[in-house]
Structure 1
Amino acid sequence: MPNKSPKPTPTRTDFFSKAAAARLSSPLANKYHERETLLIELQTSLRLFFWGGILCLVDATIQKSSELGYAFRFDIFNDSIGMALFIYGLFKLKKISQEFNIDKLRFFLLFISSAYFLVTIHYHVIYSVPNPLFVTLSLINYCFYSSFLIACFIMIKIFKGLNLRWIAILWCINLCLFIVSILAELIIMYISNFNSTFNLDFFWNVNPIVNTSIFGQSYYFYRPPLVQLIHSVPFIFSLLFLYLSKKNITILANQSPKPTPTRTDFSSEGSGGAA
């Protein structure tokens, strides 16, 4: 009669390696890993938005004139670098935007931001801008500014989905600030440019930024300092809300419950060890 070779008995190391494999392959572990990845990517995007926003908001310009009729200027807190960080942050937001069904809005924001990135590069050269180019650059500028309404909506959708409702409320407030800012800017610009009977000194009037002709009619376009002040207020609040959002995402990532083995996992471990 042939001798039966004894079956190998599982060692303690084998048991724990199978237990770890069972936990890592369980649906709970996969869900935990996916959530952790989304939170890390959101945290990275918020950090990029924050530092990019600071570079775009703060100005320290160095200017050098040329004998050829144009000049160069360089911003130490460079807007082009800030926009590059903002665009990269939108790329990093891809997975979480797909998770919350806002990827089309993210793509539209990416398109507008890329166009404005070209505007920031053009900003470094000072010369006599042709009227069609001035109108084009102005339209891109206002489209980019208005696109922050979409950015606020994206933030509201994300933080509402993560059950951080008070952060979502902050972005609702910021959305309202942008709406009021855009309306106030349009009203003041209209009064400054088209209402000659109104006292422009009320808006701290400055010299016209451009003299252009549309359909044979000459217009002097003003951008009073009060408009620039109103323009900056929502961005300052955006930086504050970005900091608070990033801080809360960090807390949420650290408090995420780690997967624990279920009864099914132990059963699979026991049957695996007995085999």
Structure 2
Amino acid sequence: MKPHAVDASILPLRLIFWGGLLLVIDFHFLQTVNGEGFRFDLFNDAVGALMILVGVCKLRAIDVSDGYRTLMTLVVCVSAFTLLDAVQAHVITRDPWELTPWLQNLLGLAELGAILAFCVAMRGLCGRADLRRAAQSFRTTTLLFILIYLVPLGLFRLAVLAALARQESFNVDLGPAALLLIPVFMIPAIHLFVSTSRMEADARAAPGRIALG
């Protein structure tokens, strides 16, 4: 791994953090005429998805290991589909594509897998650079993503797919209580920011170890 590889990862990680926040925080309004129109996001999902895609593309370019490149290639592919989905979500039509619910939930499962792959890749990057504190921090970040995102949202997506297969409806209406979940879903993203800061601090404190990676 090149001596400045960790330094090169800091900006992409920041982009991913802020892009992720734009995806988590969702305030939008609709403008339609005869069932067609547009959705306007105050915290634009498409911009957030684009920031994430740019960030993961830059991270993939870092030469760490074959396993790292494989994981980040998966993350890049899923991020590209997420961006396309975010862009098309701004357009409202009277005749939506019938397979859209299937594709959206399959994409949701792929996104959860990509999050896990991303965290594992970042742990690998820290390990190669011998940044032990940062690696441990990313291990905690991975655990938070698994507990708060992967398990509950994964089960939810699977339940929706099962309902679609049986041609049944599946809705969960939390009402105002959903607002209480926003801080919870921000916890892994905030810890990602913390892990990134620790990676940056450790890299600057011991640049010689990075050169040996």
- Provide TM-score, normalisation by structure 2: 0.78
Residue 91 of structure 2 corresponds to which residue in structure 1? Answer: 125
**Structure 1 Cα separation of the partners of residues 178 and 80 of structure 2:** 23
Structure 1 residue runs of 4 or more that deviate by more than 4 Å after TM superposition: 186-194, 226-235
Confirm or deny: 8 A CA contact 2:37 2:91 kept in the other structure.
Answer: yes
Residue 114 of structure 2 corresponds to which residue in structure 1? Answer: 147
Confirm or deny: 8 A CA contact 1:44 1:92 kept in the other structure.
Answer: no
**Structure 1 Cα separation of the partners of residues 58 and 161 of structure 2:** 41
- Cα deviation, 1:159-178, whole Å, max 9, x if unaligned, reads 22223323323332333333
1:175 matches 2:142:
yes
Unpaired runs of 5+ in structure 2?
209-213
**Structure 2 Cα separation of the partners of residues 176 and 153 of structure 1:** 10
Residue 237 of structure 1 corresponds to which residue in structure 2? Answer: 187
Confirm or deny: 8 A CA contact 2:119 2:138 kept in the other structure.
Answer: yes
1:43 matches 2:18:
no
Bigger radius of gyration among the two: 1
Once the 2 structures are TM-superposed, how far is the Cα of residue 60 of structure 1 from its aligned partner? 2.4
SS at match of 1:111: helix
- Cα deviation, 1:11-31, whole Å, max 9, x if unaligned, reads xxxxxxxxxxxxxxxxxxxx9
Unpaired runs of 5+ in structure 1?
1-30, 195-210, 259-275
1:99 matches 2:64:
yes
Once the 2 structures are TM-superposed, how far is the Cα of residue 157 of structure 1 from its aligned partner? 1.0
Bigger helix share: 2
The one-letter code matched in structure 1 to 2:3 is: R
Residue 78 of structure 1 corresponds to which residue in structure 2? Answer: 44
Once the 2 structures are TM-superposed, how far is the Cα of residue 235 of structure 1 from its aligned partner? 4.8
**Structure 2 Cα separation of the partners of residues 159 and 238 of structure 1:** 18
The one-letter code matched in structure 1 to 2:37 is: A
Confirm or deny: 8 A CA contact 1:63 1:71 kept in the other structure.
Answer: yes
| Range with greater deviation from structure 2 (144-153 or 170-179) | 170-179
Once the 2 structures are TM-superposed, how far is the Cα of residue 189 of structure 1 from its aligned partner? 6.7
Pick 1 or 2: higher relative contact order, CA cutoff 8 A, min separation 6. 2
Selected match of 1:218 from 144, 167, 185: 167
Kindly report the root-mean-square deviation, in angstroms, between the aligned alpha carbons of the 2 structures: 3.3
Once the 2 structures are TM-superposed, how far is the Cα of residue 183 of structure 1 from its aligned partner? 3.2
